[in-house]
Structure 1
Amino acid sequence: MSDQETELKFLRDQIDSIDQQIHALLNDRARCAQSVAEVKERYQGDREAVFYRPEREAQVLRRVMQRNDGPLADHEVARLFREIMSVCLALEKPMHVAFLGPEGTFTQQAASKHFGHSAHCIPFSTNDEVFREVESGGAHYGVVPIESSSEGVVTHTLDLFKRFNLKICGEVELRIHHHVLRAAEEGLDNITRIYLPQQTLSQCRSWLDTHFLAAERILVSSNAEAARMAIQHGTEAVAIASDLVADLYQLNIVARNIDDQSDNSTRYLIIGDQDVGESGHDKTSILVTVPDKAGALYELLQHFHQHKISLTGIETRPASPESPHSVFYIDFEGHAANQHIQNVLQELQSDTVELKLLGSYPVAVL
């Protein structure tokens, strides 16, 4: 055996030993998770036990990143622990998560990123159906888009919070990357048709104008539908979609990251029916209905300014065509359990027609 082979054997033996220790610790963690479930069931009485604690998971992931000293990157270590927690949570109680489908959408990627791949993710055709499924108890949680860095706020999602009595339990941010998918093995030659949704077209228009100005662009309902159409129409057709769609439909990625903005991202909300405790780095969302008059927004914002609370988002929505009121959706830093946040909410409640607390939840970790 050469010197190189001797050294490699020593290192591989070390890896095997470490793997064995990791495996044993993973099973220890899983058994501990099962014990947690047993304790919760024992003390819940007639109430349904709550197994998923968003604030607890956010705290665990933050500690993972804080104590990490490499060589693995912080976010990679956190991603691994995300999956470990997902598997262990499934032993306690499998999570059913509704998302805006069809299968292969970026919303599904966001759901898997937040809950891990051991959660059962179920596609629905509209955001309305996602809200309805969660409110009826058919799913524990739902994942819906709320804001795109390129397209702005998804106003339809905001309007659903007026119709449904659900709470925001978390948020997840997803970096959006579009690729050219093709049944042929490689290359960008002889492409005559491009299938893609309208939103994808708006995010990749400059790249497409540069590379495929003459190709026909056919708008479809989703990136998954684009993949199906590209498969049906042969090797001269391509779809613009994600890695997940490429895997689901076994298409080849012939050009990667064709987005016009390299930092394109979308924020998603996790909706459910539970109040979420403090994690130490939280955000609160509210809907405020006020008389439609000059200076109404200024009067609202004065309360946040006086208490030195930073806003992270604000959007105006009409109450209804006939209503003399305006509705503001407001995100701000802090948790509703904090006294200074409670003071602001009380002041707002006395000044407005209606205040609806949508939830306090951990700021996205991954």
Structure 2
Amino acid sequence: MAEPTLEQLREQIDGLDEQLQGLLNKRAELAQKVADVKIATDGDAVFYRPEREAQVLRQVKARNTGPLDAETIARLFREIMSACLALEQRLKVAFLGPEGTFTQQAALKHFGHAVETISLAAIDDVFREVASGAAHYGVVPVENSTEGVINHTLDSFMESPLKICGEVDLRIHHHLMLSEHTQLDKITRIYSHQQTLAQCRKWLDTNMPRVERIAVSSNAQAARRLKDEWNAAAIAGDIAADLYDLKILHRNIEDTPDNTTRFIIIGHEEVPPSGEDKSSLLVRMKNRPGALYHVLKPFKDAGVDLTRVESRPSRSGNWSYVFFIDFEGHRDDENVQAVLAALEREALDVRLLGSYPRAVL
């Protein structure tokens, strides 16, 4: 049997594109009907359901047979779901700005590009924007695999009623970039965030040891400054290069190839189980010897796996501490309920910050 010609292959692709387009619009129509049912049954309907989206994306990855890899297919479905959700309700998502930061990239990775993103100058501002109802959700960084925990985010939970609704793991790639005005042989300074400069120290020591390193408030600000300077470079990510029309001279200059930042989604609602969940907990302990032991023992007794434990000074008294704990499981799980009950007997204060789907993308 003769192989199909190029023209025949293109005709097949055109036919499939037409079918895909029709199916996508049918899916969108069903999404609109879902919204109508929600509104009819609940005046305060919640349109964004993190557990449902996580389940759909897991199913997409599980049934994928290639040649597109599972991650690519899931990202395509992420955008389809984002566009369909926008027909029900366009979400407003606040993030730690300015425009072009990794936090914005994390927000778009989690929610898709059909949301309205709101750039804010500080983590506190993101919490306030969501608490006031001006934004449906917020995205803030919580820890980096190289630099550790973001204390400002943890401290914000001490005074906020907001809950964690999801998480995003983002591989952080740093690029050295120039503007169209940059004279490559005249570079005397490099702008970037302090943490980024630290994460690229070895590369800079080897390749640009005599160039001054200037820390600024964000990588996006570093990229933005290049438009007015001919003797400077910046280190930032892809989204900043696209936003400020910069040329990437060297890619992936971070010292640790698997450098990853974890971001959390903050909102008002409690999230039902998705089947693969994590939970976060704030525990304020009595000031006594062995406080950490009494925090951790209930997890061991109930067979609950811990993924992170951090301590911060309590704002309610000297020499007392608050523990922030991430662990596997959902608040509705029987063993998690046993842990919470045991901690209630030992601690001054126990607050579940949220149970939420484990990151899928």
Query: What's the TM-score once normalised by structure 1's chain length?
Result: 0.96
Aligned-pair CA distance for 1:215 = 1.4
Letter in 2 for 1:120: E
Correspondence for 1:30 = 28
Alignment of 1:143-222 (within 5 A): 143-184=139-180, 189-222=185-218
- Which of 238, 254, 270 is matched with 1:275 structurally? 270
**Partner Cα distance (2:74, 2:166) in 1:** 17
1:320 CA drift (Å): 2.7
Single out whichever of 319-328 and 189-198 deviates more from structure 2. Answer: 319-328
Question: Which runs of 4 or more aligned residues in structure 1 lie more than 6 Å from their structure 2 counterparts after TM superposition?
Answer: none
Residue 67 of structure 2, aligned match among 71, 78, 101: 71
Match of 1:10 among 8, 11, 20: 8
| Distance of 1:208 and 1:22 partners within structure 2 | 47
- Larger mean CA deviation between 95-104 and 323-332 belongs to 323-332
C-alpha distance in 1, partners of 2:266/2:316? Answer: 27
Q: Do structure 1's residue 239 and structure 2's residue 237 form an aligned pair?
A: no
1:301: Cα distance to partner?
1.1
CA distance in 2, matches of 1:110, 1:216: 30
Q: Which residue of 2 aligns with 1:125?
A: 121
Answer whether contact 2:190 2:211 (CA < 8 A) is retained. Answer: yes
SS in 2 for 1:163: coil
Whichever residue aligns with residue 161 of structure 1, its letter is F
User: Relative to structure 2, which stretch is displaced further, 164-173 or 221-230?
Assistant: 221-230
User: For 1:250-289, what aligned pairs fall within 5 Å after superposition?
Assistant: 250-289=245-284
**Distance (Å, rounded) in 2 between the aligned partners of 1:195 and 1:324:** 39
Deviation for aligned residue 1:322: 3.5
Structure 1 residue matching 2:65: 3-state secondary structure: coil
Matched, 1:105 2:130: no
| CA distance in structure 1 between the aligned counterparts of 2:317 and 2:48, rounded to whole angstroms | 41
1:101 to partner: Cα distance? 0.4
Question: In 1, Cα distance between the equivalents of 2:214 and 2:148?
Answer: 24
Q: Is the 8 A contact 2:182 2:229 kept in 1?
A: no
Note the C-alpha offset of 1:191.
Answer: 2.1
Provide the C-alpha distance between the structure 2 equivalents of 1:203 and 1:36, rounded to a whole number of angstroms.
46
- What SS does the aligned partner of 1:103 have? coil
Identity of aligned residues (%): 57
Give the aligned residue type for 1:339: E
One of 299, 310, 319 as aligned partner of 1:315: 310
The 3-state SS of whatever aligns with 2:332 is coil
Amino acid at match of 2:40: R
1:260-295 per-residue CA deviation (whole Å, 9 max, x = no partner) reads 111001000000000100000000111001112221
1:301 paired with 2:296, answer: yes
Q: TM-score, normalised by structure 2?
A: 0.97
Distance 2:169 2:24 in 1: 28
Q: For 2:181 and 2:170, locate their aligned partners in 1 and report how far apart those are by CA, in whole Å.
A: 28
Distance in 1 between residues matched to 2:157 and 2:176, nearest whole Å: 36
The yes-or-no answer on 1:135 pairing with 2:134 is no
> Which ranges in structure 1 are unaligned for 5 or more consecutive residues?
none
